[in-house]
Amino acid sequence: MLFRIKNLGNQWQILVVGRNLKMQRKKLTVYDYLRCKGQRQLSNLFVHTVEEAAAAEEAGIDFIVAAHDLPKFGIKASLNDVKKIREVAPNCFMQSAGPTPPASEYEAIKYAHDYLSFGVDCIYVGNYSLKWIKAMREENIPTIGHVGLVPGKATWIGGLRAIGKTADEAIGVLRHTLALQEAGVIGVELEVVPPKVAKIITEKVDIITMSMGSGSDCDAQFLFSNDVLGWTEGHTPRHARIYRNFKKEYERLQQERINAFKEFHNDTINKNFNDPKITVKIEEKEFDKFLELSEKI
């Protein structure tokens, strides 16, 4: 029997006598995730739908993020959608959390276990206190923090703006990252921080730094699928990189929907549904018998 093995990054493929069999790639554990620091870059993608999650799985994306019930941020998925996303992307390390921050340490731990129970690997704690994060670490709950531009704290920093363009702000981002590391997070989203600053921060911490507009010297790159696919509604963030124009494709598909519905409407009006391809026949003798019987009713 002949075997041919291909290395596809973090996925292996075996070709066996004409049959294409994929070996299941190893999903990152927290241990693996942390050991990637300084060894290889990690891809991190926010996905909105089951279809996007399935594509991320097939593409070999390392880390996916899913959230729900946050229309303010363009996130319309439900909790059930997040559960389905976990199912269709079983080999992606996955982050999630509830739409409303907990109101106590107890709630933080309880909510985290709700998500861990259906396969989420780590919990987003961008708006949590250090005290709660420490308590979660004591319960062996993997958490991901957020530094730099934190949208949930925008009102405290003067809106959605870059953070770290001055020495004082830059040192503040470093101190915040170190504090989160000390509290027990396994990684941080480093959003819209100057790349030079992000590089120093990455070198000074042991946890994984995930760049969102903070350059290539972090440990991972994090983008939103709607930006990658070009269907962002409204303002597209400066740090977004667009790889496909799905907005144009969605517009084309919508016009095709309209055209198809118009054709259906016209076929209905014109009684164009006797096509033998979509109907069934009755033998003439059976039809004659039916007519005879129908006359008696």
Residue 20 lies in a domain: no
pLDDT value at position 2?
A: 42
Model confidence over 176-213: pLDDT tens digits? 999 999 999 999 999 999 999 999 999 999 999 999 99
Asked whether residue 3 is assigned to any structural domain, the reply reads no
237 and 203 belong to one structural domain: yes
Task: Name which of 186, 156, 152, 183 is nearest 169 in CA terms.
Answer: 156
| Residues 65 and 118 placed together within one structural domain of the fold | yes
CA dihedral 22, 28, 34, 40 (to 10 degrees): 20
- Within-domain flag for 1: no
Residue 14 lies in a domain: no
pLDDT reported for residue 14 = 40
Are 141 and 258 found together in one domain? Answer: no
Residues 281 and 148 placed together within one structural domain of the fold:
no
Predicted local confidence at residue 25, as pLDDT: 78
Q: Is 258 part of a structural domain of the chain? A: yes
Split into its structural domains, the chain has a count of 2
Q: Which of 182, 191, 233, 283 is catalytic?
A: 191
Q: Give the span between the Cα atoms of 172 and 85, in whole angstroms.
A: 36
260 and 204 both lie in a single domain: no
Please check whether residues 99 and 218 belong to one and the same domain. yes
Note the Cα 159 to chain centre separation in Å.
25
Range(s) of the domain holding residue 256: 250-295
Residues 267, 127 share a domain? no
Question: Does 191 qualify as catalytic in the annotation?
Answer: yes
Asked if residue 285 and residue 209 are part of one domain, the reply reads no
Number of H helices, E strands in the chain: 11, 11
CA distance 286 to 273: 22
CATH of the domain at 219: 3.20.20.60
pLDDT at 131: 96
Looking at the domain assignment, is residue 5 inside a domain? Answer: no
Identify the segments of the chain with pLDDT beneath 70: 1-24
State the pLDDT at residue 71: 87
Phi and psi angles of residue 276, each rounded to the nearest 5 degrees, phi first: -60, -15
Domain boundary among 244, 260, 283: 244
Q: What is the pTM of this model?
A: 0.82
Q: Are 152 and 229 part of one and the same domain?
A: yes
